[in-house]
Amino acid sequence: MVFVLNDFSQAFSKAIQLIFQLDPALLEIIGLSLRVSITAVLIASLIGLPLGAALALYKFYGRGIIVALLNAFMGLPPVVVGLVVYLILSRSGPLGVLGLLFTPTAMIIAQVCLITPIIAALTRQTILDANVEYHEQLRALGAKASRMMKTLLWETRFSLMTGVFAGFGRAIAEVGAVLIVGGNINHATRVMTTAIALETRKGDIELALALGIILITISLIVTSLVMSAKHAAYQYHS
């Protein structure tokens, strides 16, 4: 136990040291992590929010299958997603000509595949619940179906934000998929999680743990930013 505590205190001081040195290699890795995951979340939201809302509001052929698939894909192991995206983007794969493998773009694509189902499924549930409350009223006010969808998305924005940030959490903490499609190339596709995996492999537990602490700190900062934005929005009107 003493031994473990010692490990953590060493890792902690190392993490603090790394942060305050503003180590350029570290900043590069953190920057890429954020860039990749934020882009992935933005794209996944652009797809997942309307998709989830449409699945909640419209009846169409194959809807049941899509919903079942979404729920199944929510728990998909990242490695499997990584492998599939790899096979598609590989030079021998169908999209090989684009030359996207081992680039940040490939990592973004993999993360979009991972988190779109999460955002879409949570959006569907949220919109389904909200629709019970709003449907009659919006209809009586004269809203048409497409406008109703937009209104419901906006009305439930705070709940939806939770889903979007669940997606961000999964994206930034994910290692399996980005390792396969990104390749963990130094100065090109190395992100926090793949760097942690690498340092663990090299037996540099201290540095790996320090990176882990930085990752958690960033997640905490992002989460609390969202919480305070939410709080501010509530305060604003009351």
Residues that bind other proteins (CB under 8 A): 34-35, 38-39, 42, 90-93, 96-97, 99, 101-105, 108, 133-134, 136-144, 147, 151, 155, 183-186, 188, 198, 200-206, 229, 232-233, 236-238
User: What number of other Cβ atoms are within 10 A of residue 7's Cβ?
Assistant: 13
Nearer Cβ to other proteins, position 69 or 233?
A: 233
CB 106 within 8 A of CB 205: no
Nearer Cβ to other proteins, position 73 or 212?
A: 212
Nearer Cβ to other proteins, position 25 or 69?
A: 25
> Would you state the structure tokens that stand for residue 174, as one six-digit string?
């994910």
What CA–CA distance (Å, rounded) separates 203 from 237? 53
Work out how close the CB of 4 gets to other proteins at its nearest, in angstroms, rounded to a whole number.
13
Work out how close the CB of 64 gets to other proteins at its nearest, in angstroms, rounded to a whole number.
24
Work out how close the CB of 78 gets to other proteins at its nearest, in angstroms, rounded to a whole number.
17
Nearer Cβ to other proteins, position 73 or 134?
A: 134
> Would you state the structure tokens that stand for residue 197, as one six-digit string?
């995996």
Work out how close the CB of 17 gets to other proteins at its nearest, in angstroms, rounded to a whole number.
16
Nearer Cβ to other proteins, position 5 or 65?
A: 5
Q: Report CA 217 to chain centroid distance, whole Å.
A: 16
DSSP, res 156? T
Work out how close the CB of 167 gets to other proteins at its nearest, in angstroms, rounded to a whole number.
14
* Identity of the residue numbered 138: L
Query: Vertex 87, ends 83 and 91: CA angle to 5°?
Result: 140
What CA–CA distance (Å, rounded) separates 46 from 40? 10
Work out how close the CB of 66 gets to other proteins at its nearest, in angstroms, rounded to a whole number.
28
Q: Report CA 123 to chain centroid distance, whole Å.
A: 15
> Would you state the structure tokens that stand for residue 54, as one six-digit string?
């449409």
Nearer Cβ to other proteins, position 65 or 97?
A: 97
